[in-house]
Copies of this chain bind each other. A is one copy, B any other.
Amino acid sequence: MTYRLHYWPGVQGRGEFVRLTLEASGQPYDDVARANDDGEDELVQDWMRNDRPTPPFAPPFLEDGDQVIGQVAAILLYLGRKHGLVPKDEAAALWTHQIQLTLADLVAEVHDTHHPIAVGLYYKDQTPEAKRRAAEFREQRMPRFVGWLERILANNPKGASWLVGDGVTYADLSAFQVVEGLGYAFPKGSHETLALAPRLLALRDRVAALPRIKAYLASARRIPFNEDGVFRRYPELDG
């Protein structure tokens, strides 16, 4: 059965964490938004409105036959186990999930740098608040998250090549996306913070060089970053 990924069309957003894991797994999937550009907004809304017993609260969500899974971290928990992108050891698998959940918190905070008041309002209607929140994020939160990831790599008993154990997990793929996203959204504001995290930058490069990820990034399937996604380049929010 081919996976079907549902997400808003035209953006990487939170869907990108699922795409990266599907791509690294070498699994075929229909990115429904790409195949059905104009209709997916409505299709996503319909899925969330309907009377299925397990309605997703928000996209992205993944169809695998009869099973429908929402929430990025839950989707990756599922795919990681199925396709070997997580250690078999239970404690290591849970640690991988814990890292993913913390990356999800980071992503939510990045989202709120441009939408600190309401998802439903335009950026221009919350720009003053966004400037304050983005400054706090750049100066306080980003260094804390990045420093934590760097420390995990430094302390990994199996070496600093990967976040967990000695092989790639979905958390590494997500960390790649976060580093890329921070560099895109805050080219000035992230520079110093990332320079203090050489192991994390090396991880970013290591993920980008995985053959399947490399092919994906060079393909048209990889949507460029843009100002409709989670990571947005608004110069007034950068340092």
Q: Chain A interface (Cβ within 8 Å of chain B)?
A: 51-58, 67, 69-71, 73-74, 77-78, 91, 94-95, 97-98, 101-102, 105, 108, 112, 116-121, 126, 129, 132-133, 136, 140-141, 144-145, 148, 151-152, 155-157
| Alpha-carbon gap, A151 to B69, bound state (A) | 17
Report A171 CB to chain B, min CB distance, Å. Answer: 12
**Known contacts A67-B91, A117-B129, A120-B140: does B97 contact A74 (CB below 8 Å)?**
yes
Report A111 CB to chain B, min CB distance, Å. Answer: 11
| Alpha-carbon gap, A129 to B112, bound state (A) | 13
A–B complex contacts, Cβ < 8 Å, 8 sampled:
A51-B151, A53-B155, A53-B156, A57-B144, A58-B102, A105-B108, A116-B116, A117-B136
Contacts of A52 in B (CB 8 A): 155
Copies of this chain in its oligomeric complex: 2
Contacts of A117 in B (CB 8 A): 116, 129, 132-133, 136
Contacts of A91 in B (CB 8 A): 67
Contacts of A133 in B (CB 8 A): 116-118
Interface of A (DSSP majority class) = helix
Q: Which 6 A-B pairs have the closest CB atoms?
A: A118-B136, A71-B101, A74-B98, A57-B102, A71-B98, A53-B155
Report A94 CB to chain B, min CB distance, Å. Answer: 6
| Alpha-carbon gap, A54 to B97, bound state (A) | 12
**Choice from B53, B57, B78 contacting A157 with Cβ under 8 Å:** B53
**Known contacts A71-B102, A112-B112, A129-B132: does B54 contact A95 (CB below 8 Å)?**
yes
**Choice from B54, B102, B141 contacting A98 with Cβ under 8 Å:** B54
A78 engages B57 (CB within 8 Å): no
| Alpha-carbon gap, A72 to B105, bound state (A) | 12
B55 engages A151 (CB within 8 Å): yes
| Alpha-carbon gap, A95 to B55, bound state (A) | 10
